[in-house]
Amino acid sequence: MMVLKADAGWFFRRILEFMLAAINIAPSITVIINPLFFIMFLPVGAYAILAWPWSLLKDIPDPFHPGESLYWLTYAIKIDEENVFLPSLFRWGVVDLSLLAAGLVFFLAAFIFWLINLSRGGGLITSGVYGVVRHPQYLGIILLTLGVTIRTLRPASLIAWITLLTGYLILASLEEKNLLKIYGEKYVEYSKRTAFIIPYLKPNLPSWLSPEKPYRYMLLAVIWAALVVTVMVYMRDRVFALRSISPRGLGSI
Span 75-118, pLDDT tens digits = 998 887 778 888 887 888 899 999 999 999 999 999 888 888 87
CB atoms within 10 A of CB 192: 9
pTM: 0.81
The backbone torsions φ and ψ at residue 25, rounded to the nearest 5 degrees and listed phi first, read -85, -10
Q: In this predicted model, what pLDDT tens digit does every residue of 179-225 receive, in sequence order?
A: 999 999 999 999 999 999 999 988 888 999 999 999 999 999 999 99
For 68, which DSSP code?
Answer: -
Cα–chain center distance at 245? 33
| 93: CB partners within 8 A, 6+ apart | 83, 84, 85, 86, 87, 150, 151
CB atoms within 10 A of CB 220: 17
The backbone torsions φ and ψ at residue 15, rounded to the nearest 5 degrees and listed phi first, read -60, -45
Among residues 139, 151, 79, the alpha carbon closest in space to that of 107 is found at 139
